[in-house]
Structure 1
């Protein structure tokens, strides 16, 4: 049988026809900060889109025990970024980026169905006044200093437009949210000095859409509304990627 040899260049050409094309590297880094009750794995679809588009994407894995520690973890990730940073926060992650976003490497903030507290505020304080006519997060009473969402209500409250198998697992695999994170107070609000973008999830049953609009208006954010559950980055990754990309283009 005839044996054929393939040169390195030939193999490279063959691989190029198999591997998906990747865009030229962008001069902006994107840092993703997750919220309460979940971990960083929820960013996977968005990570894949943005990295394929040429962005350096760094993902924060917060313990969500105290706000102070989550800010410190986020700052350590920001320090690793090669480029100016677009700092993205989902849900409680919005509180984290509001404080961590004061880092000089951060050029823009992106809030996704998030909390955007002012100085002296916490997520707990923002949630004190329910929005009449809009659902409230179905949290169980604190246990040993931590909160979780009622597992039976988690799928419809958190991610009603994500597939049922995924939401059932998320409900079971919840990361308890520490009361010292919920009550962590902002000392310097980055949105006061840096541009911000706010994606409002209009079908959100965790952070009321009306509250999201009020926080975005107060921060002077560029806003976009999307018919989505709270888990907007999972149910609409393409739209969220485009939103973040716009924030990145604005700082270039």
Structure 2
């Protein structure tokens, strides 16, 4: 949806939501998620964010193997650039990783929290 400032609010089309965003969630969950999704603004793709925290703060990186929104090689690049102390690719997981694999995400957070 175009906005007056030249940016746009972007949604994932409901008919494509399951396949492209959350293939490993139930059809019932996806229908709810697709219908209630919040938009993101295109400015998020172009505006700077300031000094990245990963330059001064230790980081850990978990990402889904089958994300169709962000390529796995982009995740790998970001993890390497950040000097991630640990990197985990979750097999078979979609972009909706925290919803589809909550235990894997929670375990990884606990691992990171216990690291130092």
Q: Same fold (TM over 0.5)?
A: yes
Matched residue, 1:225 = 89
Matched residue, 2:54 = 191
Matched residue, 1:157 = 20
Map Cα deviations across residues 28-64 of structure 1 (whole Å, 9 max, x no partner): xxxxxxxxxxxxxxxxxxxxxxxxxxxxxxxxxxxxx
Count matched residues: 110
Matched residue, 2:2 = 143
Secondary structure of the structure 2 residue equivalent to 1:229:
coil
Cα distance in 2 for partners of 1:149, 1:250 equals 37
Query: TM-score scaled by structure 1?
Result: 0.42
Matched residue, 2:105 = 240
- The alignment's C-alpha RMSD in Å is 1.3
Unaligned runs of 5+ in 2: none
Cα distance in 2 for partners of 1:189, 1:205 equals 25
Higher fraction of strand: 1
1:176 CA drift (Å): 1.3
1:200 CA drift (Å): 2.1
Map Cα deviations across residues 121-155 of structure 1 (whole Å, 9 max, x no partner): xxxxxxxxxxxxxxxxxxxxx53321111211111
Cα distance in 2 for partners of 1:143, 1:167 equals 25
1:182 CA drift (Å): 3.1
Unaligned runs of 5+ in 1: 1-141
1:232 CA drift (Å): 0.7
Matched residue, 1:206 = 69
Query: TM-score scaled by structure 2?
Result: 0.87
Bigger relative CO (Cα 8 Å, ≥ 6 apart): 2
Q: Report if aligned partners of 2:63, 2:88 keep a CA contact under 8 Å in 1.
A: yes
